[in-house]
Amino acid sequence: MSASGTTAGQVEHMLRQVTPGRYDAYEALLRALATPSTGRVWMLLWHGQAGSPDAQYATMEVDGNGYAPCVTSAQELSASGWTRSYEVIDGADAARALYPGHYGLWLNPHAPGGGVGIPWLDLRRIAAGLEHQPAGPLRLSEPAIEIPQFYALLTQNAHRTPAVRSLRRAWVQPALGAPYLAIGLDVYDTSPPAVDSVRAMMQQSVTAVPEGLPVSTVALSDEDDPVAMWLRVNSRPFYDREAHAPAPAPAAGGYGYPPLRGAY
């Protein structure tokens, strides 16, 4: 299978734009990878043939994080000198295959400068839809904004919602886009009626949020969500059905993402 200029060209064009700190270019690269018409990659196989049951992607480790190497066109495959087999798939399919095992995707590691690594957290965003999750790396901290009316109403409504065990909060500053308040939901029950009751709780409570302040929710049971990961480690509940506890003020900082590595 060969690549047309349209298929490989967009990813390779975006790849050349990525340098440390250029999060806009990096986000454009993710969009190209997530688009079926432009996001095809050549996955390098360490064992087996494409489509065979024993096919296994090659792996590499960078700064303690695991990645599967790939190339972005037939031309780059030839330039890499790879002599084993390979598999040509959409970037979104590669993302769905890799992120559950906490493996990232490394584009063109043979290239001058070492190529570009996509950490597994961003593969998760590609798999789920880039618009559904904030662009990392994220800066997370205890919210400094004072909105006591909202927290009071949310606490009252949570107490009336039996599915809710506790609530936590974080101020999230994405690499791109507006910062927002995240409410972490710890629930006893994830049945459809319980989920509906929690959704209604939030809808009733956000009426007390000042206009223009974005609020989002995250399930604390989501082991792979970077905001939930930070909340579990760095925060205490501001509402706890079983034992009320005030929330501390942990230090701000990134969480879950290795440093963005561009073409150095």
pLDDT in tens, 170-193: 999 999 999 999 999 999 999 999
Please check the confidence at residue 48 and state whether its pLDDT lies above 70. Answer: yes
Could you tell me the pTM of the whole model?
0.82
Model confidence at 8: pLDDT above 80: no
| Per-residue confidence (pLDDT) for residue 77, from 0 to 100 | 96
**Mean pLDDT lowest for which of 64-78, 99-113, 200-214, 246-260?**
246-260
CA-to-CA dists, residue 225 to 121, 145, 171, 230, angstroms: 8, 23, 15, 9
| CA–CA distance, 254 with 65 (Å, rounded to integer) | 16
3-class DSSP assignment, residue 124: helix
- How high is the pLDDT of residue 256? 53
Cβ density class 107-140: b for 16+ within 10 Å, e for less:
bbbebeeebbbbbbbbbbbbbbebeebbbbbbbb
Domains in the chain with CATH codes: 5-132 (3.40.1350.90), 139-254 (3.30.460)
Higher pLDDT, 248 or 239: 239
CA angle 46, 89, 138 (to 5 degrees): 90
Structural element, H or E, at residue 139:
strand 139-141
